[in-house]
A and B are shown apart, each in its own frame.
Chain A
Amino acid sequence: MKLLILLAVAILAALPWFAGSYLITVMIFIFFYAYLGQAWNIVGGYAGQLSAGHAAFVGIGGYAAALLSAHAGISPWIGMWMGGALAAVLGAVIGYLGFRFGLRGFYFVLLTVAFAEICRVIALNVDAVGGALGLYITFTGNPRQFQFQDNRAYYYVAFALMLLATAVVRAIERHRFGAYLTAIRQDESACEALGVDTLRVKMQAMILSSFLTGVGGTFYAFYLFSLQPNAVFGIPLSVEIIIRPIVGGAGTVMGPILGSFILSPLAEISRTYFAQGGWNGLHLIVYGVLLIAVVLFLPQGAYPALLRLARRPPA
């Protein structure tokens, strides 16, 4: 198995040298959303706390880095960690309010949605951060400002991000933190009785998750060159973030990656071939159907199902 992964990484690392520009763009899309999904996976998959407002962290991270770059001349390479930290602060607030007040399930989902929407409305209405028009990044092509002439550079950054997040999640799985998260997901009270400080562990998961997501916001901003409040804080982005790990396998290391490899090309195809004819929302319909199908038939996601298939002894 390890060999397969190393092989895959090697192939993906070499890909830009013999792939066309369009494929590289699609791969960037796949890697980036795998990264965001993996970050969400920590709190949504492993800890089992369904957050439907993770777009808020992307937005905060992106806006922070963009503003710091434009107004304070701080390079996004530094700004992205600050953006992540700011997102982590919001994550801590949401987490603390939610967990301390015992909000679970539906109530927690609603809390996260409410916060994301508040961020969106604020961003829409505060002119200092661009208001309804949003923020635009001036194109300089300067790598110091997290901008690259060549698509391939973005490819490697996105690839690195995905590997980073995956490495973090894998490390979590192998440590006490991961065991606690998985147990909390199944029965919090039992965990409390066994000496687990569930509030602290959930907070840590939330902070780590929101930090990583916030860092991703910088990539988002400097790859797309614009930040629109409705796009970057809105529910559609939150859906994009959570659907890949859920379909791929929430609470597994490979889940978000598998999910992204399945869904991102789908979204891309739908966008390319159907957006014109007003079939704008087609890929979202497919998302909805997949979500329903996963819940009904593959609640643990595609990856565990694949593992089961692979382990089945020959008939």
Chain B
Amino acid sequence: MDLTLVGQGLLSGFLFGGVYSLMAVGLTLIFGVMRVVNFAHGDMMVWGMYLAWLLSTRAGIDPYVGFIVCAAALFLFGLMIQRGLVERIVDAPHEMQILLMLGVALVLENAALVAFGPDPARVRSPLSQATVWMGPIFVDVARLVTFGLAMALTAALWLFLARTDLGRSMRAAADNPYGARVIGTDVRKVYAAAFGVGAACVGAAGALVSPILPFQPTSGLGLSVTSFNIVIIGGMGSLPGAFAGGILVSVAESMGAVFLSPSMKELVSFGLLIAILLFRPAGLFGKTAG
């Protein structure tokens, strides 16, 4: 067993985990505050990627700068979706919510297909090619920067939730929606903000990933499933859980790629998901599932 390879995989996985964490944090925030499962999560991320691609190819803006625009755009999109669609079915049976977000996912994925074509795309950043040696292991500078920015964004989100009024309202609503209403929280506003912020997370994550991996419109499903995996493992509604889960799953995937073939990797992912669903649906940090 080539230890360097394992070490490489570990580091690579760990760094990529930053993005997974950001992605998962967005999903768990939406679920935690609104009890809505965002089936369109992965497809929103793909749009974040394509937006970064557009910015890069049409406006020459590097994704490591452009991610802010992507986050903002997805934030607005999230607000629109929440106000226009999700809000209307907050009290509907869960099946209806699932179908609604599935519909959104279908529209997003195929709109991307129509707009950008089915072939894989990639964003070129000057950092894409750079590598740095840390002892026997080399690190993609791009991954390093991605990790750093993802961490910074997660930290910023954490501060937002802990220190700002809106953030606290979100946590209150997540903890006790009825109680939050009783003390006068504008629940509509909180819900909209939560969905917007969740979407922004995933938009930023998409932009940050775009220089590292090729992507195509159909990548959405895989990303959604990965997000669900992470969030279920970490515990639905738990931010630390999503954070830890993101790193965990990324490292596991990376190890899977080192030791197993790519197809086996997918099998392991799904097998793991089934096992978690059956035996510990509340996840590592989770409260009882909604």
Query: Which residues of A line the B interface, CB within 8 A?
Result: 48, 50, 52, 97, 101, 103-107, 109-111, 113-115, 117-118, 121-122, 124-125, 235, 239, 246, 278-282, 284-285, 287-292, 294-296, 299
Contact yes or no, B98 A124, CB < 8 A: no
Given contacts A101-B281, A246-B99, list 14 more A-B pairs with CB under 8 A.
A50-B99, A103-B277, A106-B94, A110-B273, A114-B273, A114-B274, A117-B266, A117-B270, A121-B266, A281-B109, A285-B110, A289-B103, A291-B99, A296-B100
Name B114's contact: one of A111, A121, A279 (CB within 8 Å): A279
Closest CB-CB distance, B64 to chain A, in whole Å? 30
Closest 9 CB pairs of A and B: A288-B106, A281-B110, A291-B103, A288-B107, A281-B113, A292-B103, A105-B94, A284-B110, A295-B100
Q: Given that A101-B278, A279-B114 are contacting pairs, would A287 and B106 also be in contact in the complex, using a CB cutoff of 8 Å? A: yes
- Which B residues fall within an 8 A CB radius of A? 37, 85, 88-89, 92, 94-96, 98-100, 102-111, 113-114, 117-118, 217, 221, 225, 228, 232, 261, 263, 266-267, 270-271, 273-274, 277-279, 281, 289
CB distance from A241 to the nearest CB of B (A): 13
Evaluate contact between B110 and A121: CB separation under 8 angstroms. no
A290 to chain B: closest residue by CB: B103
Which of B99, B111, B217 is A295 in contact with, Cβ under 8 Å?
A: B99
Chain B positions within 8 Å of A285 at CB level: 106-107, 110-111, 114
In the bound complex, how far is the Cα of B112 from the Cα of A280, in angstroms? 11
Beyond A115-B274, A117-B270, A296-B89, whether A289 also contacts B96 by CB under 8 A is no
B228 near A110: Cβ-Cβ < 8 Å: yes
Residues of B within 8 A of A235 (CB): 221
A-B contact pairs, 17 of them (CB 8 A): A103-B277, A103-B281, A114-B225, A114-B273, A117-B270, A118-B271, A121-B263, A125-B261, A280-B118, A282-B110, A285-B107, A291-B99, A295-B92, A295-B100, A296-B85, A296-B89, A299-B96
Asked if A281 and B277 make an inter-chain contact with CB atoms under 8 angstroms apart, the answer reads: no
The reply to whether A292 and B100 contact each other, CB–CB distance below 8 Å, is yes
A285 to B, closest residue via Cβ = B110
